[in-house]
Chains A and B, each alone.
Chain A
Amino acid sequence: MHGISGRRLLLTDEAIAQAALDAGIGGAYAYPGTPSTEILEYIQQAPEARERGVHRLWSVNEKTALEEGLGHSYAGRRALVAMKHVGLNVAADPFVNAAITGVNGGLVLVVADDPSMHSSQNEQDSRFYAGFAGIPLLEPATQQEAYEMTRAAFDWSEQWKIPILIRIVTRLAHSRADVVTTPPIEPVRLELPQDPRQFVLLPANARRNYERLLDQQAVFQAHSEASPYNVRTGGRRRDRGVIAAGIAYNYLMEAFTDTGECPWPVLAIREYPLPAAAIARLAADVDSLLILEEGAPLIESRLRGLLPGGKPIHGRMDGTLPRSGELTPDGVSAALGLGRPKPAPVPTVVRPRPPMLCAGCPHADTYRFLKEFMADHPAGRVFADIGCYTLGALPPFEAISSCVDMGASITMAKGAADAGLTPAIAVIGDSTFTHSGLTGLLDAVMENTSMTVLILDNETTGMTGCQTSPATGRLERIIAGLGVDAAHLRVVIPLSKNHDKNLQVLREEAAYPGISVIISRRVCLQAVPKG
C-alpha cells in the first residue's frame, strides 16, 4: 500500500524486502514460515523485482535457501535469505560454515523469531546463533530501522566479506507502520572471488579462514561500540540503568510516551556483538541494572556470569520479568515499578476459539478414515508433522500422537516401527515432505521398514498462505525415485464419498510388512481461486 508524500505503510517483513530490493539484490531465497513469510511474498510480487530480473524462489527448505544465497553471493551478486527461527536449525550447517567461508556479494539472512510460540514449536532466540557463528547481528526496533538496517547490512556484508544476520520477532515482523525509503541503487555485480581457497573448506583452508574470522571479531566489536544503533539516552536518575534490546526499547518508552524521556539512563542495543565497553560505562554510572530483551535472557546471563558479586541485575532470570514468552508494555511497566490502570477482566462468557480446519478441508476427510482405522488398532500410533493437519491433534479428530519438527513424522514412525510399534503411521503434508521428509523416507526404504506414510497432498504450502509446493506435479516420481515399491504407492482422493474405499486402501497398506506410501490428494480450499 503506497501512501501520499512518498511514505509507504509496510509490515516490517515488507520493509526488509523493499530494502533488499533497493540495495540491489540479484536473488532472494526463502522457505515460508510464520512470521517470516511476507518477506519473500513481497519480493515475489514487487514490480521492481520483475523489472530488474531479481531471482526469487520458495526454496525446498531453509538449508537449500541459504546455500543458494551463498552461491549467489559467490557469483558476485547480493542475496537475501529469509526464514523463521526454527528454519535456522535446518540451515545451521551452511549458516555456521558461511561464516568461515565469508561472502563475495552481500549476503543478508533475516530470521524471524516467535517468542510466545504463536505459530511455532519453540521460542529459541536467534541471537545465540550469531554469537555461535561469530557474525554480526542487527535487531531493529521499528519498521523504519528494519529498512535502514537491511540497506546497511548489505554494505557491511560486502565490506567485511561476512554474512549478516538480522533478527526480528513476531510483533515487529507483523506490525505495519509508515516507512520512508531511500533511492535504490543499481543491482550489484562483483567479480568472482579472487582467493581460490576462500570457499574450499579443506581443513587447511578452514583453519586459515577461521583465524581470519577470529581476527575480525575485534572489528565487529569496535563497530558495535560506535554503532548508531547502540545508543545511550535517558535521564539523570542513578538508582537504575536500563539496557533495552531490540523492540524491548519500544515497551520501555511506551511508559514515557508523554515526555518522550526515560528518567533513568538507557542503553539501547540493536547491533551485536554486545557493546561491552558501553555496557561497562552504564554499569559504572548506576546502582543497578534492568535488562529488557525479547526472547531468552542472553544479555542478562552474560552480565550475570557465573560468579557472585557486582551490582544487582534484574530481568527475566530473577523474576522481575517472566522467564518465557514475549514482553508486553504492561510487563515492562511493572518491571519498572510503574503503576498502570487495572484492566477489566475478560467476561466469563468468552470461550477460547482455537484455529480449526476450514469447512470442507481435504485433511478432515483424511483424518476421518484414518481415525476409523486407528480405532481398530489401539496399539498403533500416528506420528504427524507441521502444517494445518497438526490441528488433527484437537477435537474432533484427536488422531495424532506427535508433532516435533519438519519431517519428524516419517523418521519417528520409522524409529517406533523399529522398536516394534505397529501399525506405525506417518502423516505429513506435501510441502513438509519435500522440505524434510525425503531423506527419512529413504531410511525406511533402505530397511523396508513396516510402516505407512500418508502424504496429505493439497498441492500447496497451505498453512503459510499457499506458496508453491515443490511436490506439485512430481510427487509420485519423487517417491518412486526413492525406491518405494510401485505396488505400495497408492493415491486416494479424500472426499466423504470415497471414505470406505480410502479406509480399505489404508487397511491394505498398513497390513503390508514393508514401507508403503498413500498420497491423499485434494487441492487446498484456500488455493482454489475464489469465484
Chain B
Amino acid sequence: MHYDLIIAGVGGQGILSIATVIGRAAVHQGLHLKQSEVHGMAQRGGAVSSHFRLSDGTIFSDLIPLASSDLILSMEPMEALRYRPWLKPEGWLVTNSVPIPSIADYPDPVRLQAALAEMPHRIVVDAVGLARAEKSPRSVNMAVLGAASPCMPFPEAVWEEAIREQFSRKGAEVVEANIRVFQAGRNEALRSADTPKKT
C-alpha cells in the first residue's frame, strides 16, 4: 500500500500540525512515512506545502513524483490548485473554501470557483465556518483534515486517537473541541455529492 498526499496552505495556517496528526495516525497503523516540511522565511505568509508519503513498504523519495499524488489537502483554495501537477487523474482535491487574498493579483472569486470546478474529484468546505460553529476558531485545520479523512487509508477511530495525542497537553477542552471540528469536517465531506467511498 502506498498513499501520497500534498498538504498545502499559506505560512502560518497550521499545515505542520495537520502533518503531525497524520503522522501519529500512520504510526498507529504501523505504516512507514516520509514527510517533507518547509521551514525558514517561506513560512512568512508565503505559499507552503508538505509532501507526505505513507507506505507499508519502503519509501524511497522524500518528494512525490508528478501526477502521482492521491490527495491534495489544502487550507486555501488557490493554494490547492498550485499543486495540481502532482495530483494523479483519479486523485482527490480537498480544500478550505475561504481565500487568503494577501497578494495584489489574487484571482477573482468567480474565476477561482471555475478553476476548482474543473477538478473532477473535489471536496470544498467552509472550514472557517465549521470551526466557528464548534466555537473553536483556531481549529480550521482540523476541519479540513476531517473533510479529507474519508479519502485516506485510516479507520475513523485512529483519527480520534491521533488528535487526542496531538492536543492532550493543551487540556481536555481543547482535545474535545478539535475532535468536534474534525467530525464536522468529516460529516460535511460525507454529505457532499461526490464523496469517496467511506473508509
**Which residues of A come within 8 Å of B, CB atoms?**
1, 3-4, 7, 9, 11, 34-35, 37-38, 118-119, 171-172, 174-178, 247, 249-254, 257, 260, 328-330, 333, 340-358, 388, 390-391, 395, 463-465
Contacts and interface: CB of A to CB of B under 8 A. Distances in A.
B115 A349 contact: yes
A254 to B, nearest CB: 4
A9 B16 CA distance: 13
Interface stretch (B81-89, B125-133, B184-192): B81-89
B89 to A, nearest CB: 8
Contacts of A328: 63, 65
B11 A250 contact: no
A388 B43 CA distance: 11
B114 to A, nearest CB: 8
Interface in B85-132: 85-89, 102-107, 111-112, 114-115, 118
A250 B61 CA distance: 5
Contacts of B105: 351
A233 to B, nearest CB: 13
Contacts of A345: 84-85
A175 B10 contact: no
Contact of B42 (A118, A175, A358): A118
B107 A355 contact: no
A247 B85 CA distance: 23
B35 A358 contact: no
Q: A interface, by DSSP: helix, strand, loop or mixed? A: loop
Interface residues of B, number: 58
A356 B67 CA distance: 30
A15 B173 CA distance: 33
A347 B93 CA distance: 14
B37 A330 contact: no
B58 interface: yes
Contacts of A4: 27-28
A11 B50 CA distance: 13
> Ordered nearest first, which 3 A-B pairs have the shortest CB separation?
A34-B40, A355-B46, A343-B85
B37 A11 contact: yes
Nearest to B118: A347
Contacts of A341: 66-68, 88-89
Contact of B27 (A7, A119, A391): A7
B157 interface: no
A344 B84 contact: yes
Contacts of B60: 249-254, 257
Interface string B122-158: 0000000000000000000000000000000000000
Nearest to A396: B104
A259 to B, nearest CB: 11
A9 B27 contact: yes
A351 B78 contact: yes
B44 A357 contact: yes
Given A328-B63, A349-B78, A391-B44, 12 more contacts: A1-B23, A11-B37, A35-B40, A178-B33, A250-B60, A257-B57, A340-B65, A350-B82, A352-B103, A353-B10, A353-B47, A391-B41
Nearest to B66: A343
B40 A175 contact: no
A349 B66 CA distance: 20
Contacts of A175: 34-37, 62
Given A9-B23, A250-B60, A344 B32 contact: no
A38 B58 CA distance: 25
B45 A355 contact: yes
A257 B2 contact: yes
A527 B199 CA distance: 42
A463 B62 contact: no
B37 A176 contact: yes
Contacts of A344: 67, 84-85, 87, 89
Contacts of B197: none
Contact of B11 (A253, A257, A355): A355
A174 B33 CA distance: 13
B62 A247 contact: yes
Contacts of B103: 351-353
Given A346-B82, A350-B78, A351-B78, A340 B66 contact: yes
Contacts of A388: 41, 44
Contacts of B46: 353-356
A118 B32 CA distance: 27
Interface in B14-44: 19-20, 23-24, 27-28, 32-44
Given A9-B27, A178-B27, A343-B86, A351 B106 contact: yes
A430 B27 CA distance: 42
